[in-house]
């Protein structure tokens, strides 16, 4: 399993958010990219080991919500201190709000 995974749930519709493009970045460097699957997950995003530092997950929510969505993009910055630990970053999404946390 990869070091970084994510899961996007459409809180308004009560179902997984399918097909959202997601990028894993560090500074100006693109490390990996993918799309959420039918269960709203990306189970393998990036390498199995990342150096300690600050990383970003960028979710292209406009691709899912369309131009009516208030947030066309969500960027979640997080810090990796343990290069061998799994980091799961879920998003709960609705047209006018989102929340995130460190998952398990």
pLDDT of residue 3: 85
Grade residue 2 by pLDDT with cuts at 50, 70 and 90.
low
Contact 21, 60 (CB under 8 A): yes
| Cα–Cα distance for residue pair 58/54, rounded to 1 Å | 13
Neighbours of 11 (CB within 10 A): 16
What pTM, to 2 d.p., does this model score?
A: 0.93
pLDDT digit string, tens, across residues 68-80: 889 999 999 999 9
- The phi, psi pair for 62, rounded to 5°, reads -65, -30
Contact 80, 55 (CB under 8 A): yes
Q: Nearest to residue 49, comparing CAs of 69, 28, 27, 31?
A: 31
């Amino acid at each position: 399993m990869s070091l970084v995974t994510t899961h996007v749930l459409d809180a308004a519709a009560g179902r997984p958010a399918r097909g959202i493009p997601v990028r894993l970045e560090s500074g100006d460097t693109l490390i990996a990219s993918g799309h959420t699957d039918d269960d709203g997950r990306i189970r393998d995003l990036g390498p199995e080991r990342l150096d300690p530092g600050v990383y970003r997950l960028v979710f292209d929510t406009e691709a899912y919500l369309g131009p009516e969505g208030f947030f066309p993009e969500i960027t979640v910055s997080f810090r990796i201190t343990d290069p061998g630990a799994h980091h799961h970053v879920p998003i709960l999404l609705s047209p006018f709000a989102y929340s995130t946390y460190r998952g398990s």
